[in-house]
Each structure stands twice: as C-alpha cells, then as structure tokens.
Amino acid sequence: MQAWYPFGGRGYAKEILNNEALLRIASNHQVTAAQVILRWNFQRKVSVIPGSSNTNHIKENMNIYHFSLTEEEMKEIEALNRDEKHDWY
C-alpha cells in the first residue's frame, strides 16, 4: 500500500502538522509532527511518498529511523481517522 500526500495534501497540511496529539507525540520523541506521520505509516508497512521542494524538509522526511512509536501512540494516531479520503486522519 502507498500513502500519497501523507500530510493531507493541499489545504490540509497546516491542520495536520499542528494537531495537538501529533505535536505531543513528536515532543516525546524530539521529532516533528511530519516525522511522526511518516514513522506511523512506516510502522504500518505503508510506503509513503511525501512531496517537498524544501531541502530541509526532504532531509527531515528521511530521518525517521532513529525512533519508534509505542503501541499506544500508534492507536492514538489511528483514532484520529475521520473517514476522509486521506488514510490516516
């Protein structure tokens, strides 16, 4: 399975990347909300295809292998599902 626009795509990224639960989890691991989203997909064995023209964001997006989300964190993120076209929230 692939996740295109794992940050929600145009019009959704700001809301997703400022989600309180994601920011709290990110703080616990000293990473960004974007890295949490990518790691969540990775741990679910979903291939993610984030898009960015920002070099720093591209590097950040690749730096998700030094931490793991707990089972509780995985479930908390899954609970953010709103049954919209985007698979994770």
Question: pLDDT tens digits for 11-32?
Answer: 778 888 999 999 999 999 999 9
Torsion-angle region of 44 (φ positive above 0: left; ψ -120 to 50: alpha; else: beta): alpha
Residue of 33, 44, 36 lying closest to 3 (CA atoms): 44
Interval 68-84: pLDDT, tens: 999 999 999 999 887 76
Domain boundaries, the chain: 2-78
Q: What is the pTM of this model?
A: 0.87
